[in-house]
Structure 1
Amino acid sequence: MSFLISDAYAEVAGAQNPGLIEGLLPFAILAVFFVLFVWPQHKRGREHKKLIESLAKGTEVVTTGGIIGRIVEIDDNFVQLEVNDGVVIHVQRHAIASLMPKGTYKTRKKADNK
């Protein structure tokens, strides 16, 4: 009986030697995952951080909620956006999604008033 058990262990021990491809496959999957998912996300994060740092008074922006406005005041954490004549809202800095071309805010205001 012990003769059969030792044969089974010998077969399992022989099967534990993976080849080069089987040994590198998990690393290749991790590398593909990093290139497809992690790297682009970090790149977007760095670009958004640069955008937030470049904000200045008078810049026309769009928030993540889709509100278009012009920056009238800015501090470390919050931005005051003028969204219409005399209407100012407070928004967190990181809620700014993108910059608008100069003059977009004025043309939008003219279109709303017609």
Structure 2
Amino acid sequence: MSLSIATAFAAAAPAQGGGMEMLIMLLVFGLVFYFMIYRPQAKRVKEHKGLMAALSKGDEVLTQGGLVGKISKVSDEKDFVVIAIAENTEVTVQKAAISAVLPKGTMKSL
């Protein structure tokens, strides 16, 4: 065994792959991203926009802050609604803050 630099052997270089494998990998990652992240989120956003457009006076709603009340006034041009949470107690919130429309009679059962 010689310790000289001249007798050192280079390791066999790995075979270089073509660019096709990289493109296939990027395509697979793109499809996974689309079907697992983008598409479900876009569907939720579309449903929430439909919910906000369908709000009307008298609907019982749940806000993101946890308030349950009945809509007493809808302002289309300003994107705000007035929610009656108790007698003589009203709160003004943005339409985007409403997370769900509850079935009629939910407030009485609470």
TM bin (shorter chain): 0.7 to 0.9
Does residue 1:64 correspond to 2:61, yes or no?
no
Q: Describe the SS at the equivalent of 1:31.
A: helix
Matches within 5 A, 1:15-26: 15=16, 17-18=18-19, 20-26=20-26
| Superposed displacement of residue 105, structure 1 | 1.4
Map 1:1-114; keep pairs closer than 5 Å: 15=16, 17-18=18-19, 20-76=20-76, 77-108=79-110
Cα deviation for residue 95 of structure 1 reads 0.5
Q: How far apart are residue 22 of structure 1 and its match?
A: 3.7
Give TM-score, length-normalised by structure 2.
0.79
TM-score, structure 1 normalization? 0.77
Offset of residue 25 of structure 1: 1.0
Shift of 1:21: 3.8
5+ residue gaps in structure 2?
1-12
Q: CA deviation at 1:16?
A: 5.7
Cα distance in 1 between the residues matched to 2:80 and 2:23: 51
SS at match of 2:70: strand
The structure that is helix-richer by fraction is 1
Q: How many residues align?
A: 96
Give RMSD over aligned pairs: 1.9
CA distance in 1, matches of 2:18, 2:105: 67
